[in-house]
Amino acid sequence: MKTIIIADHAEALSMALRLAEGNERILVQAGDFPLAPHHPAPALRLTLEEAQTASWIGRLGAGGGDRIVIFTTRPDTYTPFIETLGATSPTPPVMLVTEQPVALAISARPYVTLVNLAEIARERLSREWRAVAIRQKAFRLWSLLKDARKPLIITQNDPDPDAIASGMAVQALLGPEIKATLATLGRVTRNENLAMTRLLKRPVKTIAAADIPAYDRVVFVDVQPPYFPPGLFHRVDAVLDHHPGAGEYDAAFRDVDTTYGATATMMFEYLDAGGIPISERLATALLYGVITDTMLLARDSSERDFNAFAALWPRANHNLLAGMSRPRLNADELRYFVRAIRARRAVEDFLFIWLGKVEREDIIPRMADFSLQIGETVVTGVAGVVDGAVSLSARNTDLNLDVGEMISHVFSPFGGAGGHRSMAKAVFPLSAFRKATGARTLSQVGDALMTMMRLALADRRK
């Protein structure tokens, strides 16, 4: 296969020759301009007028299996040449390389592709500037923690794969010399999360509130300080999260960005931009974090999440990933599925499930995910009482609704509430809700929650 390079200015020749490296190259000079000493002698010298016709192509022995690359500052002058090529059979593919706007309708000419050097440069520069900004953030985080004797990486009380993977990424960022503890004030309960920690051999340590003062740095991952009771943490050094702001707090370092579908994506970028090696185990964890928090890129995903997924996929251990993705259900969990089906109440495309007293908080978001599979459901709410607190999880597939905003508006007067367009959560004391609504029994609490969600949904759909 030959590559015929047509150039009408000297500056692009070096690039053109590199582009065709490894193939038989035939240089055609279009116009009168001086060549550099390192440029090969052209096989043909043409005037600009001659270059606009295809009569000379046969003199080079070019065929349909060869390629033609045109480097030009005058792209539209080659329209007659390109049109003539299109009438030949077989038609050789043509690449038009320029920095100028092109009037030629590429879609009507399937054998032509356009490469705009200015656009490529802008996109590349934008990517590089963004990589520099991320690298600076990663360095600032490392600088903040590098002298720590006993740093703590804290997750939510029942950490999910995104939190676990992000915590592992912070450990990798700090390096083996800094022994950071990945911990929770609760425990890992969901089967898939337990499978993740077991298969990756990265347990999450359970600590008590009394243990916190022993740590000289505290990093919050996939969670923010207002999630915890006030005054629990004596310091907040860093916060890394993709959830909406949960309230006011001071932190030496804060990277809270809701444009990410997963905190794991953010942490992958930190490691990647910083040139920090990502082991197979860590790649598997980060990939699983992205998959679970975005529902395989189907929920609240950004281009960054897709890029992280694409970069992590070939590095991950897919046997481990399969083991984490297919956990077994125990009898207790099956009981809640049965309860959820029996307790469901639907109003058009809104479904609400009141579970009453629940032994484990993780059951509620699991039932919320499951509830979207029932009937023609678009918006769901699943709620129950765990250790004296109401816990509510909402899910949404209505593109015109921000369920995070709705849940925050309705339930933040009672406690913590918020989320994204497609998923949200609220947790607040049962006693406060009863006092505010007059609900006496647990059944009345469930009725009040459903009514409040239903009316808020109807109000936003007016």
337 with 403, same domain: the answer is yes
Whether 118 is covered by a domain: the verdict is no
**Residue that finishes a domain, picked among 325, 345, 380:** 325
98 with 139, same domain: the answer is no
Whole-number Å distance between alpha carbons of 13 and 6: 9
Confidence of residue 200 (pLDDT cuts 50, 70, 90): very high
Whole-number Å distance between alpha carbons of 75 and 105: 12
**Residue that finishes a domain, picked among 83, 110, 137:** 110
70-80 mean pLDDT: 86
pLDDT of residue 19: 67
Whether 121 is covered by a domain: the verdict is no
Of the chain, the percentage scoring pLDDT greater than 70 comes to 97
Alpha carbon separation from 66 to 17, 25, 143, 289 (Å, rounded): 15, 10, 54, 46
- For residue 336, the enclosing domain spans 331-460
pLDDT of residue 300: 81
24-30 mean pLDDT: 85
Using the predicted structure, report yes or no on whether residue 154 has a pLDDT greater than 70: yes
308 with 188, same domain: the answer is yes
Average pLDDT value for the chain: 90
Whole-number Å distance between alpha carbons of 339 and 357: 11
pLDDT of residue 393: 96
Residue owning tokens 């009569």: 55
Instruction: Report the half-sphere exposure of 266 (CA within 13 A, side-chain side).
Output: 25
pLDDT of residue 283: 97
> pLDDT digit string (tens) for 410-443?
999 998 888 888 889 999 999 999 999 999 999 9
> pLDDT digit string (tens) for 339-393?
999 999 999 999 999 999 998 888 898 899 889 989 899 999 999 999 999 999 9
Three-state secondary-structure class, residue 184:
strand
Could you give the number of structural domains in the chain?
Answer: 3
Q: How many other CB atoms are found less than 10 A from the CB of residue 224?
A: 23
197 with 69, same domain: the answer is no
Tokens of 186: 């609760």
Whether 215 is covered by a domain: the verdict is yes
Q: What CATH number has the domain bearing residue 84? A: 3.40.50
pLDDT of residue 327: 64
**Residue that finishes a domain, picked among 80, 110, 140:** 110
> pLDDT digit string (tens) for 216-248?
999 999 999 998 988 999 899 999 999 987 678
Q: By 3-state DSSP, what share of the chain in percent is helix, strand and coil, each rounded to 5? A: 45, 20, 35
283 with 181, same domain: the answer is yes
Q: What CATH number has the domain bearing residue 296? A: 3.90.1640.10
Three-state secondary-structure class, residue 48:
helix
Using the predicted structure, report yes or no on whether residue 205 has a pLDDT greater than 90: yes
Non-local CB neighbours of 20 within 8 Å, separated by 6+ positions: 3, 5, 69
261 with 385, same domain: the answer is no
- Cβ contact 51:68 at 8 Å: no
